[in-house]
Amino acid sequence: MENTKQRRPFGFYVCSLAFTFERFAFYSAKWLLAVFIVASVADGGLGLSPADGAKMSANLVAFTYLAPIFGSYVSDRFIGARYLAPLGMALMGAGYIIGSQATSAAMVNLMIILVSIGTGLFKPQTNAITGRLFSNKDQLDSAFSIQYSFVNIGSFIGTTVIGLLTKSQGYSFSFLVCGIMMFIGAVWFIFGWRFLGEAGKKPFKYNEKDTEVKEKQKNEEKKPLTTLEKKRVAAIVLVSFFSVIFWIFWYLAYMPVYYYWGAEGGVPHANWMIGNFEVPTIWFDSLNALMCITLGPVLAKVWARLAKRPQGDLSMFKKTSLGMILLGVSYVVFAAADVLRGENLAPLIWIVAFGILLSLGEMVFSPLGNSFISKFSPPRLLSRMMSVWVLAVFVAGKSYGWLYEFTLNFEFSTVYFVIAAIAIGSGIILWLMDKPLKSLVVEDEKTSEQKL
Protein backbone atom coordinates (compact mmCIF):
# COMPACT_ATOMS: atom_id res chain seq x y z
CA MET A 1 0.00 0.00 0.00
CA GLU A 2 1.48 3.31 -1.13
CA ASN A 3 2.13 5.87 1.58
CA THR A 4 0.25 9.00 0.51
CA LYS A 5 1.90 11.16 3.13
CA GLN A 6 5.01 12.67 1.56
CA ARG A 7 7.81 14.45 3.37
CA ARG A 8 8.67 17.96 2.34
CA PRO A 9 12.18 18.37 0.90
CA PHE A 10 14.71 20.13 3.13
CA GLY A 11 15.13 22.75 0.40
CA PHE A 12 11.61 23.92 1.25
CA TYR A 13 12.80 24.82 4.76
CA VAL A 14 15.85 26.56 3.28
CA CYS A 15 13.51 28.89 1.37
CA SER A 16 11.03 29.26 4.23
CA LEU A 17 13.68 30.19 6.80
CA ALA A 18 15.14 32.67 4.33
CA PHE A 19 11.74 34.36 4.32
CA THR A 20 11.83 34.44 8.13
CA PHE A 21 15.11 36.39 8.07
CA GLU A 22 13.85 38.70 5.33
CA ARG A 23 10.49 39.50 6.97
CA PHE A 24 12.22 39.95 10.35
CA ALA A 25 14.22 42.79 8.79
CA PHE A 26 11.55 44.26 6.49
CA TYR A 27 8.71 44.69 8.97
CA SER A 28 11.11 45.99 11.60
CA ALA A 29 12.60 48.47 9.14
CA LYS A 30 9.16 49.63 7.99
CA TRP A 31 8.44 50.84 11.53
CA LEU A 32 12.00 52.06 12.12
CA LEU A 33 11.85 54.18 8.98
CA ALA A 34 8.53 55.76 9.96
CA VAL A 35 9.66 56.73 13.46
CA PHE A 36 13.32 57.54 12.68
CA ILE A 37 12.33 60.16 10.13
CA VAL A 38 10.17 62.13 12.60
CA ALA A 39 12.33 61.68 15.70
CA SER A 40 14.27 64.77 16.70
CA VAL A 41 17.91 65.08 15.68
CA ALA A 42 18.81 65.09 19.39
CA ASP A 43 17.17 61.65 19.71
CA GLY A 44 19.03 60.29 16.68
CA GLY A 45 16.36 60.95 14.06
CA LEU A 46 16.01 63.30 11.08
CA GLY A 47 13.49 65.67 12.66
CA LEU A 48 11.09 65.72 9.68
CA SER A 49 7.28 65.81 9.82
CA PRO A 50 4.91 62.83 10.29
CA ALA A 51 3.69 63.46 6.72
CA ASP A 52 7.27 63.00 5.48
CA GLY A 53 7.61 59.85 7.56
CA ALA A 54 4.37 58.42 6.16
CA LYS A 55 5.31 59.14 2.54
CA MET A 56 8.82 57.69 2.81
CA SER A 57 7.49 54.62 4.60
CA ALA A 58 4.92 54.30 1.81
CA ASN A 59 7.73 54.38 -0.77
CA LEU A 60 9.42 51.44 0.93
CA VAL A 61 6.21 49.41 0.81
CA ALA A 62 5.25 50.43 -2.73
CA PHE A 63 8.55 49.82 -4.48
CA THR A 64 9.18 46.49 -2.75
CA TYR A 65 5.94 45.36 -4.43
CA LEU A 66 6.86 46.79 -7.83
CA ALA A 67 10.48 45.58 -8.02
CA PRO A 68 9.61 41.83 -8.15
CA ILE A 69 8.16 42.36 -11.63
CA PHE A 70 11.63 43.28 -12.90
CA GLY A 71 13.34 40.66 -10.74
CA SER A 72 11.14 37.98 -12.27
CA TYR A 73 12.11 39.15 -15.75
CA VAL A 74 15.79 38.68 -14.87
CA SER A 75 15.34 35.17 -13.43
CA ASP A 76 13.08 34.14 -16.31
CA ARG A 77 15.63 35.07 -18.96
CA PHE A 78 19.16 35.67 -17.69
CA ILE A 79 20.26 34.33 -14.28
CA GLY A 80 19.19 31.33 -12.21
CA ALA A 81 16.86 32.23 -9.35
CA ARG A 82 19.00 30.51 -6.68
CA TYR A 83 21.86 32.94 -7.41
CA LEU A 84 19.64 36.02 -7.39
CA ALA A 85 18.03 35.26 -4.01
CA PRO A 86 21.17 35.63 -1.82
CA LEU A 87 22.31 38.58 -3.94
CA GLY A 88 18.99 40.23 -3.21
CA MET A 89 19.37 39.55 0.51
CA ALA A 90 22.86 41.07 0.46
CA LEU A 91 21.54 44.19 -1.28
CA MET A 92 18.80 44.51 1.32
CA GLY A 93 21.40 44.09 4.05
CA ALA A 94 23.51 46.86 2.50
CA GLY A 95 20.43 49.07 2.36
CA TYR A 96 19.66 48.61 6.04
CA ILE A 97 23.28 49.32 6.98
CA ILE A 98 23.08 52.58 4.99
CA GLY A 99 19.89 53.29 6.97
CA SER A 100 21.87 52.82 10.18
CA GLN A 101 24.21 55.62 9.09
CA ALA A 102 21.57 57.88 7.52
CA THR A 103 21.80 61.58 8.33
CA SER A 104 19.61 62.86 5.50
CA ALA A 105 16.52 62.04 3.45
CA ALA A 106 18.81 61.25 0.49
CA MET A 107 20.49 58.42 2.43
CA VAL A 108 17.08 57.08 3.46
CA ASN A 109 16.00 57.11 -0.19
CA LEU A 110 19.18 55.19 -1.11
CA MET A 111 18.25 52.61 1.52
CA ILE A 112 14.75 52.31 0.01
CA ILE A 113 16.23 51.83 -3.49
CA LEU A 114 18.61 49.05 -2.37
CA VAL A 115 15.97 47.27 -0.29
CA SER A 116 13.48 47.45 -3.16
CA ILE A 117 15.95 46.07 -5.73
CA GLY A 118 17.00 43.38 -3.27
CA THR A 119 13.39 42.39 -2.64
CA GLY A 120 12.82 42.16 -6.38
CA LEU A 121 15.74 39.73 -6.69
CA PHE A 122 14.77 37.68 -3.62
CA LYS A 123 11.03 37.39 -3.18
CA PRO A 124 9.65 36.03 -6.50
CA GLN A 125 12.72 33.85 -7.04
CA THR A 126 12.41 32.14 -3.67
CA ASN A 127 8.69 31.53 -4.23
CA ALA A 128 9.41 30.11 -7.68
CA ILE A 129 12.08 27.77 -6.30
CA THR A 130 9.67 26.55 -3.62
CA GLY A 131 7.12 25.71 -6.30
CA ARG A 132 9.66 23.64 -8.21
CA LEU A 133 10.77 21.59 -5.21
CA PHE A 134 7.55 19.56 -5.21
CA SER A 135 6.89 16.93 -7.84
CA ASN A 136 3.41 16.46 -6.38
CA LYS A 137 1.65 19.76 -7.03
CA ASP A 138 -1.12 18.78 -4.61
CA GLN A 139 1.36 19.57 -1.82
CA LEU A 140 1.78 23.20 -2.90
CA ASP A 141 -1.23 24.68 -1.08
CA SER A 142 -0.05 23.20 2.19
CA ALA A 143 3.57 24.15 1.51
CA PHE A 144 2.82 27.81 0.82
CA SER A 145 0.53 27.97 3.86
CA ILE A 146 3.40 26.75 6.04
CA GLN A 147 5.78 29.17 4.35
CA TYR A 148 3.33 31.99 5.18
CA SER A 149 3.66 30.94 8.83
CA PHE A 150 7.45 31.28 8.56
CA VAL A 151 6.85 34.79 7.17
CA ASN A 152 4.67 35.81 10.11
CA ILE A 153 7.02 34.23 12.65
CA GLY A 154 9.83 36.36 11.21
CA SER A 155 7.64 39.46 11.37
CA PHE A 156 6.56 38.74 14.96
CA ILE A 157 10.07 38.04 16.29
CA GLY A 158 11.58 40.98 14.41
CA THR A 159 9.08 43.64 15.46
CA THR A 160 9.03 42.39 19.06
CA VAL A 161 12.81 42.32 19.42
CA ILE A 162 13.48 45.56 17.52
CA GLY A 163 10.92 47.37 19.66
CA LEU A 164 12.98 46.55 22.75
CA LEU A 165 16.36 47.15 21.08
CA THR A 166 15.36 50.57 19.80
CA LYS A 167 14.36 51.71 23.30
CA SER A 168 17.73 50.69 24.71
CA GLN A 169 20.16 51.03 21.79
CA GLY A 170 18.59 53.53 19.40
CA TYR A 171 17.66 53.63 15.72
CA SER A 172 21.12 53.18 14.22
CA PHE A 173 21.80 49.93 16.07
CA SER A 174 18.34 48.57 15.19
CA PHE A 175 18.84 49.23 11.48
CA LEU A 176 22.24 47.55 11.79
CA VAL A 177 20.60 44.44 13.30
CA CYS A 178 18.23 44.31 10.32
CA GLY A 179 21.20 44.44 7.98
CA ILE A 180 23.06 41.70 9.85
CA MET A 181 19.97 39.47 9.71
CA MET A 182 19.89 39.81 5.94
CA PHE A 183 23.55 38.82 5.57
CA ILE A 184 22.96 35.81 7.83
CA GLY A 185 19.99 34.93 5.62
CA ALA A 186 22.15 35.19 2.49
CA VAL A 187 24.78 32.85 3.98
CA TRP A 188 22.02 30.44 5.02
CA PHE A 189 20.59 30.38 1.50
CA ILE A 190 23.99 29.77 -0.12
CA PHE A 191 24.55 26.93 2.36
CA GLY A 192 21.17 25.54 1.31
CA TRP A 193 21.96 25.45 -2.43
CA ARG A 194 22.92 21.76 -2.10
CA PHE A 195 19.35 20.94 -1.00
CA LEU A 196 17.61 22.67 -3.91
CA GLY A 197 18.42 20.06 -6.55
CA GLU A 198 18.19 21.58 -10.01
CA ALA A 199 15.61 24.19 -8.99
CA GLY A 200 16.71 27.67 -10.00
CA LYS A 201 20.10 26.71 -11.45
CA LYS A 202 19.20 28.05 -14.87
CA PRO A 203 16.87 30.84 -16.01
CA PHE A 204 13.33 29.54 -16.03
CA LYS A 205 13.09 29.90 -19.81
CA TYR A 206 15.41 26.86 -20.08
CA ASN A 207 13.01 24.63 -18.19
CA GLU A 208 11.68 22.21 -20.81
CA LYS A 209 8.18 22.07 -19.36
CA ASP A 210 8.05 25.86 -19.13
CA THR A 211 9.25 26.12 -22.72
CA GLU A 212 6.49 23.79 -23.87
CA VAL A 213 3.93 25.83 -21.97
CA LYS A 214 5.21 29.07 -23.48
CA GLU A 215 5.08 27.60 -26.99
CA LYS A 216 1.48 26.56 -26.40
CA GLN A 217 0.72 30.03 -25.05
CA LYS A 218 2.21 31.64 -28.16
CA ASN A 219 -0.10 29.53 -30.30
CA GLU A 220 -3.05 30.33 -28.05
CA GLU A 221 -2.34 34.06 -28.21
CA LYS A 222 -3.18 34.04 -31.89
CA LYS A 223 -6.75 33.06 -31.03
CA PRO A 224 -9.23 35.78 -29.98
CA LEU A 225 -10.45 35.78 -26.37
CA THR A 226 -13.69 33.93 -25.79
CA THR A 227 -16.68 35.71 -24.23
CA LEU A 228 -16.03 33.95 -20.93
CA GLU A 229 -12.35 34.96 -20.95
CA LYS A 230 -13.31 38.60 -21.59
CA LYS A 231 -15.71 38.46 -18.63
CA ARG A 232 -13.00 37.01 -16.41
CA VAL A 233 -10.54 39.74 -17.37
CA ALA A 234 -13.23 42.32 -16.52
CA ALA A 235 -13.82 40.64 -13.14
CA ILE A 236 -10.09 40.68 -12.31
CA VAL A 237 -9.79 44.38 -13.17
CA LEU A 238 -12.94 45.23 -11.17
CA VAL A 239 -11.88 43.29 -8.10
CA SER A 240 -8.39 44.82 -8.32
CA PHE A 241 -10.09 48.19 -7.83
CA PHE A 242 -11.60 47.00 -4.53
CA SER A 243 -8.19 45.64 -3.59
CA VAL A 244 -6.68 49.12 -3.97
CA ILE A 245 -9.27 50.51 -1.54
CA PHE A 246 -8.65 47.76 1.00
CA TRP A 247 -4.86 47.96 1.02
CA ILE A 248 -4.72 51.78 1.08
CA PHE A 249 -6.78 51.78 4.27
CA TRP A 250 -4.94 48.77 5.71
CA TYR A 251 -1.50 50.38 5.32
CA LEU A 252 -2.83 53.77 6.40
CA ALA A 253 -3.86 52.30 9.78
CA TYR A 254 -0.29 52.09 11.01
CA MET A 255 0.50 55.79 10.55
CA PRO A 256 -1.92 57.20 13.18
CA VAL A 257 -0.95 54.39 15.56
CA TYR A 258 2.63 55.69 15.46
CA TYR A 259 2.07 59.42 15.10
CA TYR A 260 -1.30 60.19 16.74
CA TRP A 261 -1.87 57.53 19.37
CA GLY A 262 1.85 56.97 19.98
CA ALA A 263 4.49 59.49 20.94
CA GLU A 264 6.44 59.16 17.69
CA GLY A 265 4.80 62.29 16.23
CA GLY A 266 4.97 64.38 19.39
CA VAL A 267 2.24 64.15 22.03
CA PRO A 268 0.59 60.71 22.46
CA HIS A 269 -3.20 60.38 22.64
CA ALA A 270 -3.19 56.86 24.13
CA ASN A 271 -1.68 55.47 27.31
CA TRP A 272 1.05 53.03 26.29
CA MET A 273 2.19 52.39 29.87
CA ILE A 274 1.66 49.02 31.58
CA GLY A 275 2.92 49.63 35.08
CA ASN A 276 6.39 51.11 34.63
CA PHE A 277 6.86 49.62 31.14
CA GLU A 278 6.15 51.67 28.02
CA VAL A 279 4.85 49.43 25.23
CA PRO A 280 6.73 50.18 21.95
CA THR A 281 4.41 51.25 19.13
CA ILE A 282 6.05 48.63 16.90
CA TRP A 283 4.29 46.00 18.99
CA PHE A 284 1.17 46.98 17.08
CA ASP A 285 2.96 45.34 14.13
CA SER A 286 3.79 42.38 16.38
CA LEU A 287 0.09 42.05 17.21
CA ASN A 288 -0.74 41.78 13.51
CA ALA A 289 1.84 39.03 12.97
CA LEU A 290 0.63 37.15 16.05
CA MET A 291 -2.99 37.38 14.92
CA CYS A 292 -2.07 36.10 11.44
CA ILE A 293 -0.32 33.10 13.02
CA THR A 294 -3.24 32.26 15.32
CA LEU A 295 -6.14 33.18 13.03
CA GLY A 296 -4.95 31.09 10.05
CA PRO A 297 -5.90 27.68 11.54
CA VAL A 298 -9.06 29.12 13.14
CA LEU A 299 -10.37 30.55 9.89
CA ALA A 300 -9.46 27.36 8.03
CA LYS A 301 -11.76 25.46 10.40
CA VAL A 302 -14.50 28.06 10.00
CA TRP A 303 -14.39 27.83 6.20
CA ALA A 304 -14.31 24.01 6.39
CA ARG A 305 -17.40 23.99 8.63
CA LEU A 306 -19.24 26.40 6.36
CA ALA A 307 -18.37 24.23 3.36
CA LYS A 308 -20.33 21.38 4.95
CA ARG A 309 -23.55 23.39 4.82
CA PRO A 310 -26.11 22.56 2.10
CA GLN A 311 -25.40 25.95 0.49
CA GLY A 312 -21.66 25.39 0.84
CA ASP A 313 -18.91 27.81 1.86
CA LEU A 314 -19.08 31.57 1.32
CA SER A 315 -17.97 32.53 -2.16
CA MET A 316 -14.58 34.17 -2.61
CA PHE A 317 -16.32 37.48 -3.34
CA LYS A 318 -18.39 37.31 -0.15
CA LYS A 319 -15.30 36.52 1.91
CA THR A 320 -13.45 39.49 0.49
CA SER A 321 -16.45 41.78 0.99
CA LEU A 322 -16.65 40.57 4.60
CA GLY A 323 -12.95 41.38 4.98
CA MET A 324 -13.63 44.89 3.68
CA ILE A 325 -16.52 45.34 6.13
CA LEU A 326 -14.34 44.15 9.04
CA LEU A 327 -11.72 46.69 8.00
CA GLY A 328 -14.39 49.39 8.17
CA VAL A 329 -15.56 48.21 11.60
CA SER A 330 -11.98 48.40 12.86
CA TYR A 331 -11.91 52.05 11.81
CA VAL A 332 -15.17 52.66 13.68
CA VAL A 333 -13.33 51.46 16.81
CA PHE A 334 -10.40 53.71 15.89
CA ALA A 335 -12.55 56.82 15.60
CA ALA A 336 -14.79 55.95 18.58
CA ALA A 337 -11.72 55.69 20.80
CA ASP A 338 -10.91 59.32 20.06
CA VAL A 339 -14.45 60.48 20.79
CA LEU A 340 -14.86 58.53 24.02
CA ARG A 341 -11.48 59.42 25.50
CA GLY A 342 -12.49 63.08 25.81
CA GLU A 343 -9.48 65.04 27.04
CA ASN A 344 -7.83 61.92 28.51
CA LEU A 345 -5.40 59.40 27.08
CA ALA A 346 -7.23 56.48 25.46
CA PRO A 347 -6.71 53.10 27.18
CA LEU A 348 -4.37 50.84 25.21
CA ILE A 349 -7.13 48.22 24.90
CA TRP A 350 -8.72 50.38 22.17
CA ILE A 351 -5.58 50.08 20.04
CA VAL A 352 -5.44 46.34 20.71
CA ALA A 353 -9.10 45.93 19.68
CA PHE A 354 -8.45 47.94 16.53
CA GLY A 355 -5.42 45.77 15.69
CA ILE A 356 -7.34 42.53 16.19
CA LEU A 357 -10.21 43.63 13.93
CA LEU A 358 -7.76 44.97 11.34
CA SER A 359 -5.90 41.64 11.27
CA LEU A 360 -9.15 39.67 11.10
CA GLY A 361 -10.22 41.75 8.10
CA GLU A 362 -6.86 41.06 6.44
CA MET A 363 -7.10 37.31 6.98
CA VAL A 364 -10.66 37.15 5.63
CA PHE A 365 -9.78 39.36 2.66
CA SER A 366 -6.56 37.49 1.86
CA PRO A 367 -8.08 34.64 -0.23
CA LEU A 368 -8.43 37.20 -3.00
CA GLY A 369 -5.34 37.82 -5.09
CA ASN A 370 -2.89 35.43 -6.66
CA SER A 371 -5.16 32.40 -6.16
CA PHE A 372 -8.12 34.22 -7.75
CA ILE A 373 -6.06 35.35 -10.73
CA SER A 374 -4.35 31.97 -11.14
CA LYS A 375 -7.73 30.25 -11.18
CA PHE A 376 -9.68 32.53 -13.53
CA SER A 377 -7.19 34.38 -15.71
CA PRO A 378 -6.97 33.21 -19.34
CA PRO A 379 -3.64 31.28 -19.46
CA ARG A 380 -2.26 33.48 -22.20
CA LEU A 381 -2.86 36.59 -20.05
CA LEU A 382 -1.72 35.18 -16.69
CA SER A 383 1.46 37.24 -16.43
CA ARG A 384 -0.32 40.42 -17.44
CA MET A 385 -3.18 39.81 -15.00
CA MET A 386 -0.65 39.16 -12.22
CA SER A 387 0.93 42.49 -13.16
CA VAL A 388 -2.46 44.19 -12.79
CA TRP A 389 -2.70 42.81 -9.25
CA VAL A 390 0.85 43.87 -8.38
CA LEU A 391 0.15 47.31 -9.83
CA ALA A 392 -2.97 47.57 -7.65
CA VAL A 393 -0.94 46.85 -4.49
CA PHE A 394 1.76 49.28 -5.67
CA VAL A 395 -0.83 52.04 -6.12
CA ALA A 396 -2.18 51.32 -2.63
CA GLY A 397 1.30 51.30 -1.12
CA LYS A 398 2.31 54.51 -2.87
CA SER A 399 -0.94 56.33 -2.00
CA TYR A 400 -1.37 55.84 1.72
CA GLY A 401 1.41 58.28 2.63
CA TRP A 402 -0.23 61.04 0.64
CA LEU A 403 -3.62 60.11 2.08
CA TYR A 404 -2.25 60.33 5.61
CA GLU A 405 -0.86 63.80 4.87
CA PHE A 406 -4.34 64.81 3.64
CA THR A 407 -6.05 63.47 6.78
CA LEU A 408 -3.92 65.77 8.94
CA ASN A 409 -6.08 68.68 7.72
CA PHE A 410 -9.14 67.34 9.55
CA GLU A 411 -10.26 66.30 13.01
CA PHE A 412 -9.13 62.75 13.75
CA SER A 413 -12.49 61.14 14.60
CA THR A 414 -14.26 62.79 11.65
CA VAL A 415 -11.82 61.61 9.00
CA TYR A 416 -11.64 58.04 10.31
CA PHE A 417 -15.41 57.71 10.59
CA VAL A 418 -15.52 58.73 6.92
CA ILE A 419 -12.89 56.10 6.05
CA ALA A 420 -14.91 53.51 7.99
CA ALA A 421 -18.03 54.42 5.97
CA ILE A 422 -16.14 54.12 2.67
CA ALA A 423 -14.71 50.69 3.61
CA ILE A 424 -18.03 49.34 4.90
CA GLY A 425 -19.88 50.76 1.89
CA SER A 426 -17.38 49.17 -0.50
CA GLY A 427 -17.78 45.84 1.30
CA ILE A 428 -21.56 46.00 1.01
CA ILE A 429 -21.35 46.85 -2.70
CA LEU A 430 -18.97 43.92 -3.27
CA TRP A 431 -21.34 41.59 -1.34
CA LEU A 432 -24.29 42.71 -3.49
CA MET A 433 -22.19 42.14 -6.62
CA ASP A 434 -21.52 38.51 -5.64
CA LYS A 435 -23.91 36.96 -8.17
CA PRO A 436 -22.92 39.21 -11.10
CA LEU A 437 -19.22 38.61 -10.37
CA LYS A 438 -19.70 34.84 -10.13
CA SER A 439 -21.53 34.94 -13.46
CA LEU A 440 -18.46 36.61 -14.97
CA VAL A 441 -16.01 33.93 -13.91
CA VAL A 442 -18.05 30.70 -13.81
CA GLU A 443 -19.69 29.10 -16.78
CA ASP A 444 -23.34 28.32 -16.20
CA GLU A 445 -24.45 24.70 -16.24
CA LYS A 446 -26.30 24.99 -19.53
CA THR A 447 -23.19 26.23 -21.32
CA SER A 448 -21.16 23.38 -19.84
CA GLU A 449 -23.79 20.82 -20.89
CA GLN A 450 -23.82 22.18 -24.44
CA LYS A 451 -20.06 21.68 -24.63
CA LEU A 452 -20.51 18.09 -23.54
Q: Which CATH class name applies to 226-441?
A: mainly alpha
Q: Which CATH class name applies to 9-211?
A: mainly alpha
How many residues in total does the chain contain?
Answer: 452
Whether pLDDT at 262 is above 50:
yes
pLDDT of residue 145: 79
Apex 232 CA angle, 229 and 233, nearest 5: 90
Q: What is the pLDDT of residues 410-424, one digit of tens each?
A: 999 999 999 999 999
Q: What is the pLDDT of residues 329-382, one digit of tens each?
A: 999 999 999 999 999 999 999 999 999 999 999 999 876 665 677 667 776 666
pLDDT of residue 184: 98
Apex 200 CA angle, 196 and 204, nearest 5: 150
Burial class of residue 142, CB neighbours in 10 A (0-12, 13-18, 19+): exposed
CA count, 13 A, side-chain hemisphere, 5: 0
Distance from chain centroid for Cα 76: 23
Q: What is the pLDDT of residues 169-189, one digit of tens each?
A: 999 999 999 999 999 999 999
Same topology between domain 9-211 and domain 226-441 = yes
Q: What is d(CA 93, CA 175) in angstroms, rounded to the nearest whole number?
A: 9
Q: Are 288 and 355 in contact (CB under 8 A)?
A: yes
The domain ranges of the chain are 9-211, 226-441
Q: Which carries the bigger pLDDT value, residue 228 or residue 197? A: 197
Q: What is d(CA 355, CA 347) in angstroms, rounded to the nearest whole number?
A: 14
pLDDT of residue 50: 94
Q: Are 183 and 93 in contact (CB under 8 A)?
A: yes
Whether pLDDT at 4 is above 70:
no
Name every residue whose Cβ is closer than 8 Å to that of residue 165 and which is 6 or more positions away in sequence: 173, 174, 177
Band (234; pLDDT cuts 50, 70, 90): confident
Q: What is d(CA 245, CA 428) in angstroms, rounded to the nearest whole number?
A: 13
Band (443; pLDDT cuts 50, 70, 90): low
